Structure 1
Amino acid sequence: MTTVLIEDLEPGSADAGVPAHYGDPMREQRTLETSAGLVDRSHRDVIAVPGDERASWLHTLTTQHLSDLRAGQGTELLVLSPHGHVEQHALVAEDGTTAWLDTEPGAGEGLLKYLEMMRFFTRVEPRDATAEIAVFSLVGPEAPAVTARLLDLDLAEPRVYDVPGPKFAAGSVPPAPTALYDVRRFEGGLARRVPLGVDLLVPRGNLDAVLARLADVPRAGLWAYEAVRVAHRIPRLGWETDHRTIPAEAALVGPAVHLDKGCYRGQETVARVHHLGRPPRRLVLLHLDGVATDQPPAKGTAVTLDGREVGFVGTAVRHHELGMIALAVLKRNVPDDARLTVAESAAAIDAG
């Protein structure tokens, strides 16, 4: 099996250290869309938060309702600036003694710095656990069945609450995480059911044994994973966000923001924008014509309308069925039928 690393194809990429593909990116995409494949995402940063007061402490610091987080539960959270801009996004897995937070490569340092700054006299001991824990993902519609067969785990489907309307009544949002992901321990690590499949958080010393149990699962590279993520319109910190992104602009309110919990940094902006129902920008899926070039545009490429910049491209990929597509953040008033341009390509919004 040929293994091509990200850095061999994209020098300087933040995703360096994991395979881009194993020889056939399009076949790997089809595997992730139709059955199940195993993706190496071990470049993700991981923060461990042990301590008796970890749930209530994280509840006060983040956008998520975590005060009653229990063993076997996972979710998502954001850390916002005082003005409500997204600074951090992490997924959570609680095992009964530690809350494990995994985030984008390179983002862990900033997240840990913030957590350490906010410790005060709380009984928590956050630490960088990236060298301890590797993240792998079973992705695809058959991922839960593969997990049951090979790891002897039956994981419940993810539950994500609908976002309430702008004028919702106080107390109408349940006092629980807005996204709830089943987390189970298996021999070798933790498994967390998520919308795209099952994440595995594995101590690096157990990797060989766990990968041996999954030896029959087809491998898929990060290119395939990213294509599936884009097609499912799932945003990524640092790709579909910039220094002024607020949660509503990047479709992060549903899975990562509880709109009816106690005070946290940036809450005023979140509440104001939600109740007005008018975020300045929105996340969209673009179809690119691919006539002038077959190369996806780079992250940050401007999206223009009649020569005027109206947004930016986050992640652009070649999808095995949809062709060249991209997630982009556009000004809210750009109509769905606008004739857009991205570098050399014409672009159209997928309003579905």
Structure 2
Amino acid sequence: MSAVIVEEGPDKGAIWHFGEPNQEQRALAAGTAWADLSHRAVITVTGEDRLQWLHDLTTQHVSGLIAGVWTSALVLDAQGHVEHQLFLVDDGTTTWIHTEIDKSAELVSYLEKMRFMLRVEVKDVSADYSVLRAPGIPDSIGGPYAIVPKNELEEMKSAFASVHTQVGTWALEAERIAAGRARLLFDTDYKSIPNELGFLNNAVHMNKGCYRGQE
């Protein structure tokens, strides 16, 4: 069966399923599945101060984030409500973030306002890079993920498809819900706080310094 596309909501335009969602879920659980998440926004942060800056702005301990290790983080408002959910990795020179496309402009605007005199630069690079859910057993943040240049995307997708099963967001969402991982815009509203969504000790680090909304 050909791909069925998501017609509305945060995943609009993504592949929902290929007609066999149960088989897709089994492949995902077995670590033999991949998915095209090109509908998600990709943001980069560069500059010498990037990790400490993100550490100070988010709920996650990222000041010493090891290159190549993915993690998740939240940005809270002053009252502690969840405003943004970030999935990020650093490659040694750039921090790569993927997030909900409907919230990306707001996130970039907030980060730009918080630069002050720090050596950081923020860019929305969604036009040039895509997110893939790479093959592998699901990890604690829903990965493994890969961020791929658009001009290499089809080659990477073909490589994945040659040995693995492509799945849609239906399978990904089923795995996420079963694992108890909350998702911005799906499980949250403007009043949601991390404590009620299972974010503590995951996207929220319990032993880091202060950040907006902590109290």
Counterpart Cα distance in 2 of 1:73 and 1:30: 26
CA contact (8 A) 2:33 2:166 kept: yes
The answer for the alignment partner of 1:44 in structure 2 is 40
Q: Which structure dedicates a bigger proportion of its chain to helix?
A: 2
Task: Give the 3 Å change call, closer, same or farther, for CA 136–83 of structure 1 in structure 2.
Answer: same
The CA deviation at 1:194 is 5.0
Counterpart Cα distance in 1 of 2:80 and 2:53: 19
After the TM superposition, which residues 152-191 of structure 1 pair with which residues of structure 2 at under 5 Å, given as runs? none
Between 1 and 2, higher relative CO (CA 8 Å, sep ≥ 6) is seen in 2
TM-score by length of 1: 0.58
Task: Note if 1:255 corresponds to 2:205.
Answer: no
Counterpart Cα distance in 1 of 2:141 and 2:81: 25
Mean Cα displacement is larger for which, 111-120 or 202-211? 202-211
Q: Runs of 4 or more off by more than 6 Å in structure 1?
A: none
What is the identity percentage for the equivalent residue pairs of Structure 1 and Structure 2?
43
Deviations 1:42-77 (A, max 9, x none): 111111001111011111111111222232232111
Letter of the 1:6 counterpart: V
The CA deviation at 1:119 is 0.6
The CA deviation at 1:195 is 5.0
After the TM superposition, which residues 313-352 of structure 1 pair with which residues of structure 2 at under 5 Å, given as runs? none
Letter of the 2:129 counterpart: I
Counterpart Cα distance in 1 of 2:206 and 2:57: 14
The CA deviation at 1:241 is 1.1
The answer for the alignment partner of 1:212 in structure 2 is 158
The answer for the alignment partner of 1:201 in structure 2 is 147
Counterpart Cα distance in 1 of 2:111 and 2:172: 30
Give the CA RMSD over aligned residues: 1.8
Please point out which of 58, 62, 87 is paired with 2:58: 62
The CA deviation at 1:196 is 4.2
The answer for the alignment partner of 2:10 in structure 1 is 14
The CA deviation at 1:107 is 1.5
SS at 1:90 equivalent: strand
Deviations 1:232-263 (A, max 9, x none): 11110111111111111100112111223222
The answer for the alignment partner of 1:78 in structure 2 is 74
The CA deviation at 1:221 is 1.0
CA contact (8 A) 2:141 2:181 kept: no
Structure possessing the higher radius of gyration over alpha carbons: 1
Please point out which of 224, 245, 248 is paired with 2:171: 224
Counterpart Cα distance in 2 of 1:239 and 1:88: 12
Please point out which of 167, 185, 192 is paired with 1:238: 185
Aligned length: 214
Letter of the 2:204 counterpart: V
Could you tell me which runs of 5 or more consecutive residues in structure 2 were left unpaired when the two chains were aligned.
none
Task: Note if 1:87 corresponds to 2:83.
Answer: yes
Task: Give the 3 Å change call, closer, same or farther, for CA 258–194 of structure 1 in structure 2.
Answer: closer
Counterpart Cα distance in 2 of 1:66 and 1:198: 18
SS at 1:256 equivalent: coil
Letter of the 1:250 counterpart: L
Task: Give the 3 Å change call, closer, same or farther, for CA 33–71 of structure 1 in structure 2.
Answer: closer
Deviations 1:145-189 (A, max 9, x none): xxxxxxxxxxxxx9xxxxxxxxxxxxxxxxxxxxxxxxxxxxxxx
Task: Give the 3 Å change call, closer, same or farther, for CA 47–196 of structure 1 in structure 2.
Answer: closer
Q: Which structure dedicates a bigger proportion of its chain to strand?
A: 1
Counterpart Cα distance in 2 of 1:4 and 1:236: 22
